[in-house]
Chain A
Amino acid sequence: MVSAVMNAAEPNAVRRKAWLTTVNAWLLLLPAMVLLAAFTHYPILATLYHSFFSLSRGGEASFVGLENYAYMLEDDVFRQVLRNNIVFALATVPTSIALALLMAVWVDKKMAGRSFLRLAFFTPTVLPMIAVANIWLFFYTPDYGLLDQFLKSLGFSGHNWLGDPSTVMSCLAVMVVWKEAGFFMIFYLAALQTIPPELKEAADVEGASRWYFFRRVTLPLLMPTTLFISINALINSFKLVDQLVIMTKGGPNNASSLLLYYIYEVAFTFQDTAFAATLTVTLIAILAGVALTKFVYLDRRIHYQ
């Protein structure tokens, strides 16, 4: 009799406790979820929704289905901006990764002035892009700027580096590589320090050259790090736009504009929020695609360990 009552009460108590835990946990999560809903989830859904509407002259929104997307695919500026972004990624990502690896190998060794070298390479990482853009703007200023002054002293004539569609992207890419390489360096440095020294000793005993060791041992062991950095750098290359506001405003003739900057222009200069939404959906798709690759890849790596 007593045990029957106990048995009836127990599942209730357990259930009540589970319910209390859930209420507690949800209360703890409430502030985070409200803010995430307001500034991440709702905006993503609203962007998608608004991309199917168009603003008429009167400011009334009307459903236009995929018209904005059709327009986007026909839009020369969009095509150019997307191409620019791909070129920008292809130019900056491999270069900064290669430089980062070189820097990391250098500062990993007992090299004279190692801590100074680390400092020099890493410093650009902590500077605001907007300040960096100000400094580099002066380098590229025609005639008066440092680059032209230097070239003139060698007998070359001046050049409008940022005003010429054929040079503007390279100029911005050089600056971004300068800013980013040191950041990627520290991931390589961390990875290099996990390589067991016995491998190096064994290679020395075998008489393997340093280059051979680097190519056959170090580089393969750094592959996971390289993939990790590449994905982060790729995502970054779609978000770095601060410099455009200061240096080129996307010009000349959209030669230096990138996707996020174009969204900013369309929404806040041309006030076409519907088309900006369409462009944003495209950018979200790109970023989510890259990020999902990262999650899938990271999952795999965790299983290996």
Chain B
Amino acid sequence: MRQKGHSVETIAAWVLALLWLLPLAYSLWSAFHPSEYATRFDITAPLTLDNFVRAWNQAPFARYYLNTVMLVSLVLAGQLVISTLAAYAFARFRFFGREVLFALVLVQLMIMPDVLIVENYRVISALNLLDTIPAIALPYIASAFGIFLLRQTFKGVPNELVEAARVEGASSFGVLWRVFVPLGKTTYIAFGLVSVSYHWNNFLWPLIVTNSVESRPLTVGLAVFGAPETGVDWSVITAATVMTMAPLLLAFLLFQRQFVQSFMRAGIR
């Protein structure tokens, strides 16, 4: 009886999983087959890379890739440095104004820059940075979430290690660099994966602050490319869509465990 219940559940789970993979599987099918097979499933349909070639030639995807890579690197590098310094101060120093400053940091956990698009646009505009990659990155570089996550990690570092480094004559920065940063490795990886996937996928803010090929990331490039008025055919649009997702999707397939764990660590705040 119990055995039977299990197998029914197994089948149900598999049906749901296949249903879940269907949209992705469909886009891969359409991207790799000639457009006449976009809605016709024929196992003998010829495979082709033609859709990718056409998408690549019709829009500056190489430039979009470069922009996205520059964007996520800039955001991540900035976030890591700034969160490390701030988290160190919060975790290991007792100083005047600590609680107030920490509360000011936490405000960003409630009200993300995603919501403040109108005023952030004014700030970026006042800084004369419109339509640049730093404009997309700046609102996100001080990450309350990164500071919070690293502060938790740094708080767990045993005092003996800090004392030992002090005895050896390490300065404040020396202790941070030689003791705290190495011990925070798992947190850094978790935060890094979540940050990269968030900013690779981010759309509304980059759409608002960019308007040229030189600064547009992949997501915005894809939206411009796939707009109905451009008259591009469906298979080419799916090819472009696959190109936009591919690096992150491949990274995910290769490092599934790290991704899942990172999303989990990052979600529990």
Chain A residues engaging chain B, CB cutoff 8 angstroms: 18, 21-22, 24-26, 28-29, 31-36, 38-44, 46-47, 50, 102-103, 106-107, 111-113, 116-132, 134-136, 138-139, 144, 146, 149, 178, 182-183, 186-187, 190, 210, 228, 232, 239, 241-242, 245-246, 260, 263-264, 267-268, 273, 276-277, 280, 283-284, 287-288, 291-292, 295
Contact = CB atoms under 8 A, between A and B. Distances in A.
A39 B116 contact: yes
B10 A112 contact: yes
B186 interface: no
Interface stretch (B56-64, B93-101, B156-164): B93-101
A111 to B, nearest CB: 6
A146 B223 contact: no
A125 B26 CA distance: 17
B200 interface: yes
B87 to A, nearest CB: 9
Contact of B110 (A31, A119, A242, A292): A292
A34 B123 CA distance: 13
B189 interface: no
Given A35-B142, A128-B244, 11 more contacts: A25-B98, A32-B82, A35-B82, A35-B138, A39-B120, A127-B249, A131-B241, A134-B27, A210-B2, A245-B203, A287-B110
A187 B264 contact: yes
B116 to A, nearest CB: 4
A125 to B, nearest CB: 7
B39 A146 contact: yes
A273 B208 CA distance: 14
A222 to B, nearest CB: 14
Contacts of A122: 256, 259-260
B83 interface: yes
B141 interface: yes
Contacts, number: 251
Contacts of A18: 95-96
Interface string B1-35: 01001100110011011101101101100100000
Contacts of B17: 116-117, 120-121
Contact of B113 (A39, A113, A123, A291): A39
Nearest to B110: A291
A154 to B, nearest CB: 15
B23 A28 contact: no
A262 to B, nearest CB: 12
A153 B201 CA distance: 36
20 contacts: A28-B89, A31-B142, A32-B142, A35-B138, A36-B108, A38-B123, A39-B113, A39-B138, A40-B142, A44-B116, A46-B122, A112-B10, A119-B256, A120-B17, A123-B20, A127-B248, A130-B203, A187-B264, A239-B112, A277-B119
Contacts of A242: 203-204, 219
Nearest to B122: A46
Per CB-CB distance, the 7 closest pairs between chain A and chain B, nearest first, are: A43-B119, A35-B142, A128-B201, A120-B17, A291-B110, A28-B89, A39-B139
Most buried by A among B2, B14, B116, B118: B118
A42 B118 CA distance: 12
A16 to B, nearest CB: 14
Contacts of A103: 13, 16
A128 B200 contact: yes
Chain B interface, DSSP helix/strand/loop, else mixed: helix
Contacts of B104: 33, 36, 41
B5 A210 contact: yes
Contacts of A182: 20
Chain B: interface size category:
35 or more
Nearest to A246: B223
B147 interface: yes
Contacts of B238: 134-135, 138
B73 interface: no
B264 A126 contact: no
B197 interface: yes
A277 B118 contact: yes
A130 B201 contact: yes
A284 B115 contact: yes
A21 B219 contact: no
A129 to B, nearest CB: 7
A187 B21 contact: no
Contacts of A228: 268
A270 B3 CA distance: 62
B204 A43 contact: no
A29 B89 contact: yes
A245 B9 contact: no
Contacts of B172: 24
A22 B144 CA distance: 21
A18 B24 CA distance: 58
B115 A280 contact: yes
Contacts of B95: 18, 21-22, 24-26
A39 B121 CA distance: 10
